[in-house]
Amino acid sequence: MNSSIPPHSELPRFPESLWRSTVQLPTYDKLKETIYTDVAIIGAGISGITTAYLLAKEGLKVALVEMNRVLEGTTGYTTAKITTQHGVFYDKLISHFGEEQARLYHDGNYEALEFIRQTVTEHGIDCQLEKQDAYLYAESEESLGKLQKEWEAYEKLGIPGEWVDSIPVPLTVHGAIKVSNQAQFHPLQYLRFMLEFIEKQGGAIYEQTTLDGQIEEESGVLHLNTSEGYTIKCNHAVAATHFPFCDKEGLFFARLHADRSYVVAIEPETSYSGGMYINAGTPSRSLRSAKLDGKEVILVGGEGHKTGQGICTIQYYERLEQFGGELLGAKRIPYRWSAQDLITVDNVPYIGRLNGWHPNIYVATGFGKWGMTNGTLSALINRDLILGRENRYAELFSPSRFKANPGIKNLIVENANVAKELIAGKVDIVHRKAQDLQNDEGSIVRHLGQKAAAYRDKDGTLYVVDSTCTHMGCEVSWNEGERTWDCPCHGSRFDHKGAVIEGPAKEPLKSLDSHQ
């Protein structure tokens, strides 16, 4: 192994996605009037944009609405592997859902992979789409047992994989499962084309537009109200956000938990043999190549943890930096970033009709870190449901399903974790004062007699906000690596000024007098 590792100071100071920095995305206005449309799609990531693309292609009038900027969420910060190999997954899926449903999960994700390929070919989209082999490898004797069970699941389901004893990259492994004919691409170049197509078909796109979460219906027409007092009237609505705007109706905050994971882009000193890789053990490690200014860089990902519950988040970047440096050497690290994903209690996404009371509201969430295929599949399923077509995957992914095993156990565990974090945040005693913070430092502090969240920027300006998450009252924690306030209960995230970055919170953290 190569031991050439750059010092930690060479990590980029601020997180920035390679994808977002290498594509020029259009900007869109806020919604400033009441509108009517056939379908309103809330959330402009791969799921929402693909849904809008498919429905616009069918001749429906669509409105795509984003709380922040388009592709500013997880899709803009993915590793962008397009694969049916979702880690150590199918063995557990068989035990909880049975072989028939597990096979459907694989087939649906493969259909999504093929859809991406066909769409790129149909429109001649320049998005660095490359065919790659995917490898799931065991790095230890302990993870070998998991991998062998996963291989048995592949054989039961007829997944076209191959057991191999070594992999092309210089890692010592105890075995690996190779799946050929998978893919990788530049996701934002691909989705930029779809945004342009939607507008050419007469679709409307709005940014910085937040719904207030209330659902009204009049004569079969949905009324979705924005926080600024405007209304979107539509026949159908698709919630393609992490936590759907209809969160209370679906109790998604209790059935999903948020995980963060990290990526560093390394310019290697030694050549890369191609392929996409993920390990079967912990901590997670992921590898794939990408292009930057005509040169190859390697995306080293992993180090996942629950949002708001990782201490000293910069350490995760440092560990990935060390792993990549030891493996391939590192001339430099031009980018680092992190992403947030939601995971359901049974590890299968929620896609389809919200419930029987709201048959014209559809959701797409809980992609479990495999959003390129699951997000695309969600668009294919919801398109068919809106158009009244049969879809053989709809029952498996239905948001109203409930699997007693592992659903009940995981539901109890996740909500016990929420209760623990809620209580811990309230009883934690804080002695530090806002005035003690150094430049570019954030912390929970004692301020004007109450607990608060404070950050002093690199120029010395102090920002103090209420530390209580506006969703359900948990106490936020400082994310040093991203310079955000993260909620450990349901994954809401806020910038240093308190503005909402990710839900389920809809209201910002209250600004307090900095009293410098």
- Please give, one letter per residue, the 3-state secondary structure of 320-376: HHHHHHHHHCCCEEEEEEEEEEEEECCCCCEEEEEECCEEEEEEEECCCCCHHHHHH
- Round to whole Å and give the CA distance between 370 and 417: 24
Among 236, 223, 225, which Cα is nearest to 55's? Answer: 236
The amino acid that residue 250 corresponds to is G
pLDDT the model gives residue 414: 42
CB neighbours of 383 closer than 8 A, spacing ≥ 6?
51, 54, 55, 58, 389
pLDDT band with cut points at 50, 70 and 90 for residue 143: very high
DSSP 374-437: HHHHHHHHHHHHHTT---TTHHHH-TT---HHHHHHHHHHHHHHHHHHHHHHHH-----BGGGP
Greatest mean pLDDT range, 187-191, 247-251, 504-508: 187-191
Q: Which comes out higher in pLDDT, residue 461 or 96? A: 96
Asked if pLDDT for residue 145 goes beyond 50, the answer is yes
pLDDT the model gives residue 247: 52
How many percent of the chain have pLDDT more than 90? 63
- Round to whole Å and give the CA distance between 87 and 81: 12
Note the residue count of the chain.
516
What's the gap between Cα 458 and its chain centre? Answer: 29
Greatest mean pLDDT range, 130-134, 304-308, 491-495, 505-509: 130-134
Rounded average pLDDT over 344-365: 91
What residue has token string 């007098």? 513
Among 79, 146, 103, 120, which Cα is nearest to 341's? Answer: 79
Q: Which comes out higher in pLDDT, residue 431 or 274? A: 274
pLDDT band with cut points at 50, 70 and 90 for residue 125: very high
CB neighbours of 181 closer than 8 A, spacing ≥ 6?
131, 133, 160
- Round to whole Å and give the CA distance between 469 and 454: 14
Asked if pLDDT for residue 146 goes beyond 80, the answer is yes
Helix, strand, or coil here: 50?
helix
- Round to whole Å and give the CA distance between 409 and 141: 28
Asked if pLDDT for residue 516 goes beyond 70, the answer is no
Q: What b/e sequence results for 217-249 when a residue is b if at least 16 CB atoms lie within 10 Å of its CB, and e otherwise? A: eeeeebebbbeeebbbbbbbbbbbbbbbbbbeb
Asked if pLDDT for residue 420 goes beyond 50, the answer is no
Q: Which comes out higher in pLDDT, residue 13 or 282? A: 282
Number of CB atoms found within 10 A of residue 110's CB: 18
Q: Which domains does the chain have, with CATH numbers?
A: 434-512 (2.102.10.10)
Least confident of 8-17, 19-28, 415-424, 431-440: 415-424
| The token pair that represents 258 in the structure block | 């948020």
- Round to whole Å and give the CA distance between 208 and 210: 7
Asked if pLDDT for residue 515 goes beyond 60, the answer is no
Q: Where are the alpha helices (DSSP H) in 134-258?
A: 141-157, 187-200, 247-250, 252-255
pLDDT the model gives residue 253: 63
- Round to whole Å and give the CA distance between 301 and 274: 16
Number of CB atoms found within 10 A of residue 299's CB: 24
What's the gap between Cα 396 and its chain centre? Answer: 21
pLDDT tens per residue across span 13-49:
788 999 999 999 999 999 999 999 999 999 999 999 9
Is 494 in contact with 275 (CB distance < 8 Å)? no
Rounded average pLDDT over 225-230: 93
Strand partners, 298: 266, 289
Is 109 in contact with 84 (CB distance < 8 Å)? yes
pLDDT band with cut points at 50, 70 and 90 for residue 229: very high
pLDDT band with cut points at 50, 70 and 90 for residue 2: very low
Helix, strand, or coil here: 479?
strand
How many percent of the chain have pLDDT more than 70? 87
Q: Which comes out higher in pLDDT, residue 398 or 478? A: 398
The amino acid that residue 204 corresponds to is A
pLDDT the model gives residue 8: 44
Asked if pLDDT for residue 422 goes beyond 50, the answer is no
What residue has token string 């948990």? 474
pLDDT tens per residue across span 462-497:
888 888 888 767 888 788 777 888 887 766 888 888
Asked if pLDDT for residue 340 goes beyond 50, the answer is yes
Helix, strand, or coil here: 92?
helix
pLDDT band with cut points at 50, 70 and 90 for residue 3: very low
Among 85, 472, 36, 93, which Cα is nearest to 253's? Answer: 472
- Round to whole Å and give the CA distance between 177 and 361: 39
Average pLDDT, the chain: 87
Is 190 in contact with 46 (CB distance < 8 Å)? no
- Round to whole Å and give the CA distance between 12 and 443: 22
Q: Which comes out higher in pLDDT, residue 321 or 11? A: 321
pLDDT the model gives residue 426: 40
pLDDT band with cut points at 50, 70 and 90 for residue 214: confident
pLDDT band with cut points at 50, 70 and 90 for residue 105: very high
pTM (predicted TM-score): 0.83
pLDDT the model gives residue 501: 77
What residue has token string 């990408």? 290
Asked if pLDDT for residue 83 goes beyond 50, the answer is yes
- Round to whole Å and give the CA distance between 175 and 164: 6
CA distances from 384 to 55, 261, 392, 398 (A): 9, 32, 10, 13
Rounded average pLDDT over 403-421: 48
Greatest mean pLDDT range, 133-137, 311-315, 455-459: 133-137
| The token pair that represents 91 in the structure block | 């063995």
Q: Which comes out higher in pLDDT, residue 355 or 248? A: 355
Asked if pLDDT for residue 4 goes beyond 50, the answer is no
Least confident of 92-96, 309-313, 446-450, 454-458: 309-313
> Diameter of the chain by CA atoms?
68
